[in-house]
Structure 1
Amino acid sequence: MAVHTTRGLPFLPGNSFRDTTKSAFHRPQTLSYKNGYALPLRPTVGIGQEPLLSEHIMQNEVKQLSSQTATLTYGTLTRSPPLDFIPAHVAYDKKVLRFYGYFQQDVLHSPDEHFRVRPVVIYYYLEDDSMCVMEPVVENSGIPQGTLIKRHRLPKKQHGEHYHWKDLNLAMDLSVYGTMYRITHCDPFTQEFMESQGIVLNDPEPTPGDPYTNRRTQPQPSYITPSDYDNLKQFLTKDRMVLRFFALWDDSDSLYGEKRAVIVQYYLVDDAVEIRETQEPNSGRDPFPVLLRRQKIPKDIKEVCQPFPSCILEVSPHEVQEYYSPRDFRVGEELRLMGKRFLLYDCDEFTRKYYEQHHADIPLKPLALALDQKTQQAYMKVVPPYNGFGSLEDSLQNCLSLIPEPPKKDLLKLLENDHKILRYAARLDSQNPHDEGRRFVLSYFLSNDMISIFETSRRNSGILGGKFLEKTRIPKPGSTAENPEYYGPADFAIGATVEVFRHRFVLTDADQYVLTYLESIAEQERIPEKTLSSLRQALGQSKAPDPNHTPVNLPDPTAVEGHPPSS
């Protein structure tokens, strides 16, 4: 509560009065920050929002206070300039003490090492007495490194005390959160600062080396005598040379085992061996013919580690004393590869010549073996009769595969003969008197050998004209589904009869494009002279108009299917 006295009364008990209505007792704020810089402020009010005493003092009294000087009983007073106050966050800004050290990490369940030495850097920030511990990052170390302890005030004891820069020194142990850090040395700035504050630093210590890192950086010296064999010459002279042996894999020792025919291939370019199983159709086996992928097979291996089986350990080239060579493959003898037995009973002609030229001392003894193989009875595929649904090619695809695929098309023929159509005029050969006088236009498409038929409309005939037959391939009479024969341009002569699904059409006329096109391909396609002469006679002779003949004008051979020709 504010305490004030009545003006003129001495400040004695009984002369002071308290303000019971006052609730603010804090001191005014005299420091602020602007753009990261500290700015001091002059107080405008006193403690508890009371007006300042300087506001009640008159100007004359202020002058008297400023002119009063302190006097000494003896001697004269020497005035010294007042010192500016500098806060700690300004004086120690960006001043950091740096100590170097390490800690030991225990390694469990390892016969090669018991601990690892991990170097650290300890930073002490003087502005707020905070600390952080960093570990230098080492590439491909496999250990999480970087910031081990983030920046904050590290606890010294359980009583709430924190570490101070006065507690740090060289050659000492620093216990932080259960981990013991050993401080070995510091940088020159830290040494200068500590000595300026009157702290005597201990002698620096060297950081011990990590035994695991030292063992990796200094491998055991090994000496390998270089080989005199020229691998480049082998690659250039023996490329694409393969020795092929016909063998019998004897797997009768295993459960449900049997003897299987295999092919053993030896690549002379890199001394690799590949074994492929000879599979027959419908044998019931999975389609994986490669029994052993192409690789170099070791023949003699150093016994480095006895307790572990060799099939588990990875064999390096330095542990192999000898690989299989062509001298180990002898026709007529049994060979053991990768723990399996193979009887080489024959080889191909190239392999036989190679052994005669390079290994004449090795005899080749082919064996005539009666292999236990089931003879496959050849079954002829019977194509069922055509049921009339779709084209012959589409129906045949249902018999060739379980999932039918569309028949293959001649794309080159489609591109070259696109929009090329041969058009003929035809009449219906029928015994029905109502079909007398019906006229049709037969269009042959050169791109896909299909035929479409369009009937021309006649007035008062009682028959609607229009599309008579969709585009389809028409087989010749007497052709079978196994070997179908389709109509072609060579079959369309003037006066010839074309049978289309039990309907007989007689060709009566054609356009000029038909004759021009057939004459251009007469030598390549072997167009009969009878067909060409009939077209020339039909297009070249002049005759009187026949009232029963409908003239057909087909000037455009690229007309779209389904549209009637211009008459």
Structure 2
Amino acid sequence: MSWTRSHGLPFIPGFTFPDVTKSTFHRPQTLKYSKGYALAPRPTVGIGQDPLLSEQLIQQQISSLSIETPDITDDSFDQSVVQDFIPAHVALDKKVLRYSAYFQEHCQYSSEVECWVHPVVIYYYLEDDSMSIFEPLVENSGLSQGKRLKRQRLPKNERGEHYQWKDLNIGMDLEVYGVKYHITQCDSFTKEFMESEGIVLNEPEPMPLDSSSKRGNNPQPSFTTASGFDSLHQFLTMDCMVLHFFALWEDTDNLFGETRPVTIQYYLVDDTVQINEVYGHNCGRLPFPVLMRRMKLPKKRKPSEIFPSCVLDVSAAEVDEYYSPKDFQLGQRIKLLSRHFLLYDCDGFTKAYYQKNHPELEMKPFEVPKQTDLLQEKTTEAPPYNGFGSPKDSQEECAKDFRRQKPGTRKANKHSTSELIM
């Protein structure tokens, strides 16, 4: 229930009267969240939508209350446009200062390298004065790189103060959590922002090189006899380069054999080969596409009389020659681990590789033969005489089987597809 008082009477018991017509008594909302930030708007109404007792003074009342009033007035009243208030998370959104720095890590277990120099990038977010440190990834570096410090406010001292954008400059040391980062340079946006705020940046410094980088640029003289094959050069130049071939696995010699599509990957980094089967939609096969794991395939083996050589792993000393990219050519059949494959196509990278390194090999794709043509080619040859019955009767039975296996016949063979499904 709301209580009101008459004009001129004091606000004491006995001089107030209840408002029986009032039905709303809720307080106005003065707290809300916008984009994850708490905002406290000023209330415009009182409890139960009543007008506020303390209203804002208008501009004329504020001018009249001022002690010093100008004696000379101008007829043209200057009405300046008041700009709207823009919070910091809106004005400084997506504005980041970027510094390049490095830190040194001492190497204790190497007699050649004293310390490693790790280049990093320092990001300062003007929106909330937070910072993050990221170490760029270097391929095949062998070091754990990436994000070193997630976005947070970094402590400056033991009194609870944090680093501000005014504390950063080129040539200074930024000590964070026991690691000292030396700032060497910054980007153009950071330079313009700092100059606009009246801070003069120091001259940029070059990034130092560690002893391992200098040793790599100027290798020490070696007196070992150089081999004809450089595995390190192959690793550095051929890493992540794979020749991709499309082939058919001709497995028609078995009882229920067929021709299956496969993909052959030849890894140039270590001359290894991997073969995977290609399954169609709803083919009914188990999801194990790896037909042959990644390995080096011997092409010519040395004659050996060691028993049992057929079940032992083949070492490099027992092989004269391994398969190379020259052995894979479109339109030809290749035998890999007693399996016959027909190469019929390859991808664009493989074609470009052969045009650059092996122009004498013509990598021209051709049309894949159909399954029925391969079966007919296989079944047209009569098997050898096995000694049962007369040769003439055997040939007649084979001719009957050939006629049953032709496409379009009503009855294929003794074990038809429908009988196998049932």
Common fold: TM-score over 0.5 = no
Q: TM-score, normalised to structure 1's length?
A: 0.35
Greater C-alpha Rg: 1
Q: TM-score, normalised to structure 2's length?
A: 0.45
